[in-house]
Homo-oligomer: A and B are copies of this chain.
Amino acid sequence: MMFSKACEYGIRAAVYITLQSLEGRRVSVTEIAEEIDSPVAFTAKILQQLTKNNIVHSVKGPTGGFEIDRKDMDDVKLNMIVKAIDGDKIYVGCGLGLKECNANKPCPLHDKFVDIRTNLRTMLQSTSLYELATGLEVGLTYLKR
C-alpha cells in the first residue's frame, strides 16, 4: 500500500537474512521464500537487486546463499532497500501526480504531504536491519503470515 510488492518482499528477505546471519547461518533463496512466505523465483530476482546494491552479500555454489556482514546490519537502513527496489519515487514526486510541484508552485496538497513524507523518510533513514532483526530474535515481532 506504500511499497511495491517487490519492495515488501525485499525488506522481509533482508530482515530474515539479517536474523540468520546473526546466528552465523547463510541462507538459500528457497529457505528465505519459505520463511517470509513469498514466491521463490520472484524473491530470487529481488535478491539479485539487493546484492547488486551491496545490501546483502551472496555466495554461489554449495554451502552458498545469502548473508549480511555484521557491520552492514547497522549501516543498511530501510531507505537503501526501498531506493534499490522502488527507486526514489516515494520521496520525490507530487502526491497528486503533478510533474512540477514544489514550494514555489505547490499542488493543493503539497504542504500537508511534506509532513507525512518527511516522517516516512526519517523513519526509513533511521531504521537499520539490525534493529528490525533483534525484535524478531526476541520474539516480539513476526515475518510470516
User: C-beta contact mask, A81-98 vs B, less than 8 Å → 1, else 0?
Assistant: 000000001100101111
A105 to B141, CA, bound (A): 6
Confirm or deny: A41 has a beta carbon within 8 angstroms of a beta carbon on chain B: no
List B contacts of A135 (CB < 8 A).
108
Confirm or deny: A144 has a beta carbon within 8 angstroms of a beta carbon on chain B: yes
List B contacts of A136 (CB < 8 A).
108
**Dominant SS among interface residues on chain A:** loop
* B15 and A108 form a contact (CB under 8 A): yes
**Of the residues B93, B101, B132, contact of A109 by C-beta under 8 Å:** B132
Q: List 24 A-B contacts (CB under 8 A).
A: A1-B93, A2-B2, A3-B96, A3-B97, A8-B95, A8-B97, A9-B97, A11-B109, A12-B96, A12-B97, A15-B108, A96-B143, A98-B142, A98-B143, A98-B144, A98-B145, A100-B145, A106-B141, A107-B142, A108-B136, A110-B141, A112-B127, A115-B119, A116-B116
